[in-house]
Chain A
Amino acid sequence: MVNPSPKSDLPQGTLDLLLLKIVAVQPTHGYAIAQRLQQISGEIVQVPGGSLYPALHRLENRGLVKSQWKETDNGRDAKFYRLTHKGRVHLNAQAASWRRLAEAVGLILSLAEEGAR
């Protein structure tokens, strides 16, 4: 079974960033969030429920997302999460810093490859 633990595979705090990004697009419920993460990442990122829900509740507790019970397309009640203003500010800041960091890491790695060559 492919079940990478996000705790080990995703750097600290990255799961929060991904969750915020997904709900920023549109209010989404937990199951759909997991699905979408998996689809978009091309099956690389898989978040088991045991990590997903505590993370969502933590974000809600910090005021970055809000939740509401709504009916889904197939007529069942689900808890939808949406981004708050505070969450958007946080997401922008985190995303920017993540990009910078990724760029920097990429730069270093490419340098190291040249050196090795």
Chain B
Amino acid sequence: MMWWSRLWRRNKLEQDLGRELQFHIDERISALKSAGMSEGEARRKVRQEFGGIEQVKEECRDARGTLWLESTIQDLRYALRTLRKSPAFTAVAVLTLGLGIGANTAIFSLINAVMLRMLPVQHPEQLVLLTDPSESGVAVDTTEHGIRSILSYPEFAELRSQNTVFSGMFAAQSEASDSDVFPGGSTAGQAMKARTELVSGNFFHVLGIQPIIGRVFTAEEDKVPGGNPVAVVSYDYWQREFGGNSTIVGNTIRVGQGIFQIVGVAPPGFRGIVVGSDVDFWFPISMQEQVLPGRNYLKPRDTLWLQVMARLAPGVSRKTAEAAINTTFQQTLRDWAPALPTARERRNMLNEKIELRPGSHGASALRGEFSDPLILLMTMVGVVLLIACANIANLMLARASGREREIGVRLALGAARRRLIRQLLTESFLVAGMGGVLGIALSVVGARLLLAVVSTGVDELGLQVPVDYHVLIFTAGISLLTGLVFGLAPAVRGTRLDINRTLAANARNSVGTRGRVRTGRILVVVQVALSLILLMGGALFLRTLHNMLAQKLGYDRDHLLMATVDPVAAGYKGASVTAMYERALAKLRTIPGVRDVTLSRGGLFAGDSGDHLAIEGSPVRDSEQLVSYWTEIGPDYFKTLKIPLLRGREIDSADAARGAPACVINESFLRRFFPDLDAIGKHITDEYPTTRETFEIVGVVADSKEHAPDEKKTPRFYANISHPIGTVGEVTFILSTSGDPAGVASELRSLLRQFDPNLPILTVRTVNQQIGRRLITERLVADLAVFFSGLALLMAAIGLYGVMSYSMARRTNEIGIRMALGASAGGVMRMVLGETLGMVATGTAIGLPCGVAIARLISSKLYGVSAADPASIAAAIFIVLASALLAGYVPAHRASRIDPMVSLRNE
């Protein structure tokens, strides 16, 4: 008989078992009777011999082998029945758990998307990253020391031609570009926005990506510069913008200065190799000058812009490959080093290395930015779930006392305690399972919401947050775990009964109640402690965010608007760039409401630059000390930003017009390098490996925070942008306004478009918007910390309310007697509230030191506030106290309204 047919015939088996045992008993009794015993004696003797009949049955079922399955189904049925009988309990428990599990699943699915998911390519585990641009966060650069995070095209070409350890090696633009794509090939129509990426010809082949329509690039398609005007479109973009049209292949698009033929569509799910940065179009790397006009990235050995990945050849370890690739790389560097101007630069270059990292997850700038906050949030939601578990455990305990008689009867009938515990646990798991299902549904909504919050700061975060098997396993795992956590204690407690007393006692004054109330109280104390910790964290993060937002930056942040443009792409070169600046500034000055205008290379709260220096007349000799950040600025920079000029003058339009090598230093620069405070007229030289520029100091300004609210006071010099350091690139116009700067944004845009229709406008943002983008992780952590601590507090308050109500209901008699003996309603109320406060005080006493210790651990994430910040602690305690009193008031009030006559009559 197979197990399923046995299961099928379970009822018959049960009957047979009963009949079989009954036969035995009957035979034995008749045997004893014929030996001369009376009917009663015989029965008693048989019962003695046989033991509990239910127990024997249970052992027989056990021996039958399929018991686990049968009894599980039986338990599930039973659990469903009991849960259906108490819909309020079930609803509250499932909802609480759903919220807790949902929050956990939402955060986990983000962690999964950012940190755990493998690239949807063939054998991702064989992939390695030769460079990881997310390490430095820089997309294009000219030098990098130490471990390289981007490579130049000649470096890539050299490594690829000498490669012996990889079965394939490809390069891609380290950061996809935001491009205007014109369908059909003319610029007349409406441009579509798209993320484009230049890749080497073998990109798709090495990854093992097959197109669903048409073809992908061939390895030959990156040989001839400008010779391969072809494009592959992503599945999502094809669906979204081309309506999934199957005749897409052969269509042409115009991007930059090239007209490309679409040759294929990438498969669904493949969105590039950088997590969080989805690509819409891929072009062969040989088309760089067409896609990114005005620049040549293929020839110079010092234009670093490529992310390089490779697939390990069979049998080659990452270590072996790393050694081999660095041998080649060293050789290349040694060929180039002699061209460098200083010994230090040569030494630095020869120290450069390539580190191979596992590439199965691709690269991601998000990972560096969000992994710490996500892990922090994961911990927080974990605590929220714990609190939810405590709540449900409390509910279960309260319910268990209502079921004491039922359980007592079953124990008396010979049911094994183990079996009863299992049955109660089945109920818990069922609740947990339902909570898990609800949690998944909530998490999908939650993750989307979270992503929307993050995306408002980072334009169009291209991140997919799928519910894949990682997420499902995680949710199933925590659901099971929570079922065990909140179910085990009540199940064990609930079945530890003195049967005689339970059955003897009346239902109202059942025994074991006191112990159960005590367990409930301990749970509430733990909840209070945990929510206090979360609240303290929330308060600290909120203050951190507030401190960062309110940080004095040293300039008038509220009235500044920035517009970043790309003159190089519009064809400006050399002197025409400076002339364009001048004309554009004059035009922008005419916008109504604009006070002053200026420009700088990258704008505020963008990337920073720093270099080694040589400083005339400075006593500082140590070359490691001779470093400074720098900003390239146009005329009237300090006047526009309202940064106080301390000495000398600022760079003016005359300097701009003739490209004067003038610079202004900040106060920190002055104090560090000119202890005698005499700097005006001195010269400083910016020592760049390939270019060196000498500037004359014409002024000193106050320190300001250019790029981060927590920027330290550090030397910075402001150089004339018309005398550029290195190559000219994007430039940012900065306008100061008399009113709200955002109100001028559209005017600024249209004026710039009118000024030169070919000049790409990359972004238009106020400084405060830009700061908001920069603080997105701080905002995310602060918002969610507050949200989750609120959720935790709510659950703790519900728990407190539940325990107090339950305890009051059990003590109706006692309170009735107290009142009959003369206790006033106010006195009873005070007593009950006093008990509530006792629990809160104990919870606070435990939570406070833990909270401070935990705050110390995360102090690197705090800003302008100490881990033991008295205001945050006071606020957290106050909120806990207030919510506890609120939650405790209802049961207290109810207790004080007890009518002694009624309560005593019930006895």
Write the residues of chain A forming the contact surface with B, with a CB cutoff of 8 angstroms.
Answer: 1, 3, 29-31, 34, 48-50, 53-55, 57-58, 60-61, 69, 76-79
Q: Can you pick out 19 interface pairs between chain A and chain B where the beta carbons lie within 8 Å of each other?
A: A1-B48, A29-B23, A30-B23, A31-B24, A34-B24, A48-B51, A49-B49, A49-B56, A50-B55, A53-B20, A53-B56, A55-B63, A57-B63, A76-B23, A77-B19, A78-B23, A79-B16, A79-B19, A79-B20
How many A-B pairs have beta carbons closer than 8 Å: the answer is 58
Within 8 A of A (CB), among B15-70: 16, 19-21, 23-28, 48-51, 55-56, 59-60, 62-65
Q: Are A50 and B51 in contact (CB under 8 A)?
A: yes
**Complex CA distance for A30 and B25, rounded to whole angstroms:** 11
CB proximity of A86 to chain B, nearest CB, Å: 14
B51 proximity list for chain A (CB < 8 A) = 48-50
User: Chain B residue with minimal CB distance to A59?
Assistant: B63
Q: Are B21 and A49 in contact (CB under 8 A)?
A: yes
A31 proximity list for chain B (CB < 8 A) = 23-24, 27-28
User: Chain B residue with minimal CB distance to A50?
Assistant: B51
A49 proximity list for chain B (CB < 8 A) = 21, 24-25, 49-51, 56
Q: Are B59 and A30 in contact (CB under 8 A)?
A: no
Q: A50-B51, A53-B56, A54-B56 are in contact. Are A77 and B63 (CB under 8 A)?
A: no
Instruction: Rank and list the top 10 A-B pairs by shortest CB-CB distance, nearest first.
Output: A57-B63, A54-B59, A58-B63, A50-B51, A31-B27, A61-B65, A49-B50, A54-B63, A57-B60, A31-B24
**Complex CA distance for A49 and B63, rounded to whole angstroms:** 14
Q: A3-B49, A49-B51, A79-B16 are in contact. Are A54 and B62 (CB under 8 A)?
A: yes
A30 proximity list for chain B (CB < 8 A) = 20, 23-24
A76 proximity list for chain B (CB < 8 A) = 23, 26
User: Chain B residue with minimal CB distance to A32?
Assistant: B27
- Pick from B20, B26, B56: contact of A50, CB under 8 Å: B56
Write the residues of chain B forming the contact surface with A, with a CB cutoff of 8 angstroms.
Answer: 16, 19-21, 23-28, 48-51, 55-56, 59-60, 62-65
Given contacts A48-B49, A49-B49, 11 further A-B contacts (CB under 8 A): A31-B24, A49-B24, A49-B25, A50-B51, A53-B60, A54-B59, A54-B60, A54-B62, A55-B63, A78-B23, A79-B19
B56 proximity list for chain A (CB < 8 A) = 49-50, 53-54
A58 proximity list for chain B (CB < 8 A) = 63
CB proximity of A64 to chain B, nearest CB, Å: 12
CB proximity of A11 to chain B, nearest CB, Å: 19
A60 proximity list for chain B (CB < 8 A) = 64
- Pick from B23, B55, B62: contact of A77, CB under 8 Å: B23
- Pick from A34, A50, A77, A78: contact of B59, CB under 8 Å: A50
CB proximity of B834 to chain A, nearest CB, Å: 55
**Complex CA distance for A34 and B28, rounded to whole angstroms:** 10
A77 proximity list for chain B (CB < 8 A) = 19, 23
**Complex CA distance for A55 and B56, rounded to whole angstroms:** 11
User: Chain A residue with minimal CB distance to B27?
Assistant: A31
A61 proximity list for chain B (CB < 8 A) = 63-65
CB proximity of B824 to chain A, nearest CB, Å: 61
A48 proximity list for chain B (CB < 8 A) = 49-51
B16 proximity list for chain A (CB < 8 A) = 69, 79
CB proximity of B502 to chain A, nearest CB, Å: 26
CB proximity of B506 to chain A, nearest CB, Å: 35
**Complex CA distance for A79 and B488, rounded to whole angstroms:** 40
CB proximity of B796 to chain A, nearest CB, Å: 49
CB proximity of B4 to chain A, nearest CB, Å: 15
CB proximity of A74 to chain B, nearest CB, Å: 9
- Pick from B21, B49, B65: contact of A53, CB under 8 Å: B21
B59 proximity list for chain A (CB < 8 A) = 50, 53-54
A34 proximity list for chain B (CB < 8 A) = 24
B25 proximity list for chain A (CB < 8 A) = 49
Q: Are B63 and A79 in contact (CB under 8 A)?
A: no
A3 proximity list for chain B (CB < 8 A) = 49
B24 proximity list for chain A (CB < 8 A) = 30-31, 34, 49, 53
**Complex CA distance for A78 and B24, rounded to whole angstroms:** 9
CB proximity of B213 to chain A, nearest CB, Å: 58
**Complex CA distance for A61 and B193, rounded to whole angstroms:** 70
CB proximity of A84 to chain B, nearest CB, Å: 13
A29 proximity list for chain B (CB < 8 A) = 23
**Complex CA distance for A54 and B21, rounded to whole angstroms:** 11
User: Chain B residue with minimal CB distance to A53?
Assistant: B60
B62 proximity list for chain A (CB < 8 A) = 54
CB proximity of A20 to chain B, nearest CB, Å: 15
